[in-house]
Amino acid sequence: MWSFHLATLVLTHHRPLSSRPFSYGLVVLSVYDNGSVFSPEVLDLTEDDLIEKFATGVSMVTALSLAISYPTLAAAPHMFINGYKNILAVAAAPAEEEKKPEPEEESDDDMGFSLFD
């Protein structure tokens, strides 16, 4: 009997909730990373910023791999072009004539400074 009376009471006094849309958020005051504290502007990155940073990293990898002659996907086109330039430079260089060694002329000219005259 209690359960029926309690269910009736709950159903009769139930009113729809008056809830409104809401949202929660955080306001970032500072960013802490590896012992350094940064302002929240470091988090304001756009897609263009990310593309620029990625391109800078690729160019650094390319430069390093070219400097140590280590082939990578980024450096391979540059290595082929540099090799082609070297082949063209060797092919376009004028042929040098072989020089015959000239015999040295001995001079018996006495300058007058001989110790045993």
User: Which residue intervals of the chain are DSSP H helices?
Assistant: 2-13, 47-67, 76-92
**How many whole angstroms separate alpha carbon 111 and alpha carbon 107?**
11
DSSP-derived secondary structure letter, 10: H
Q: Is the pLDDT of residue 116 over 50?
A: yes
Assigned domain for 72 exists:
yes
**How many whole angstroms separate alpha carbon 117 and alpha carbon 114?**
6
Contact (Cβ atoms closer than 8 angstroms) between residue 100 and residue 110: no
Assigned domain for 86 exists:
yes
Please give the full DSSP string across 39-70, using - where no structure is assigned: -GGGG---HHHHHHHHHHHHHHHHHHHHHTT-
Q: How far is CA 63 from the centre of its chain?
A: 9
**Two tokens, residue 18:** 């008056």
pTM of the shown model:
0.42
Assigned domain for 55 exists:
yes
Q: Look at residue 93 in the predicted model and tell me its pLDDT.
A: 78
Mean pLDDT of 3-30: 61
**How many whole angstroms separate alpha carbon 104 and alpha carbon 108?**
13
Domain carrying residue 50: 42-91
Assigned domain for 2 exists:
no
Assigned domain for 82 exists:
yes
Assigned domain for 78 exists:
yes
pLDDT digits (tens, 9 = 90+) for 56-107: 999 999 999 989 988 888 888 988 999 999 999 888 877 776 777 776 665 6
Q: How confident is the model at residue 31 (pLDDT cuts 50, 70, 90)?
A: confident
**How many whole angstroms separate alpha carbon 117 and alpha carbon 112?**
9
Count the domains in the chain.
1
Q: How confident is the model at residue 10 (pLDDT cuts 50, 70, 90)?
A: very low
Assigned domain for 22 exists:
no
Q: Look at residue 69 in the predicted model and tell me its pLDDT.
A: 86
Assigned domain for 101 exists:
no
